[in-house]
Amino acid sequence: MTTTLKEFLESCHTLKTLRLIVTSSAAVLEARGRVEKLFYATLPKGRYANMHTEGFEFHLNMDAIKQVKFETGEAKRGNFTTYAIRFLDGKNEPALSLFLQWGKPGEYEPGQVEAWMDLKEKYGEVWQPLPLEDGEIGG
pLDDT of residue 132: 74
pLDDT of residue 10: 94
Where the chain has pLDDT below 50, the residues are 139
Q: Which domains does the chain have, with CATH numbers?
A: 5-127 (3.40.1570.10)
Count other C-beta atoms under 10 Å from residue 113's C-beta.
15
How many angstroms separate the CA atoms of 101 and 62, rounded?
Answer: 23
pLDDT of residue 131: 81
Count other C-beta atoms under 10 Å from residue 23's C-beta.
14
pLDDT of residue 109: 96
| Number of Cα atoms under 13 Å in the Cβ half of residue 96 | 20
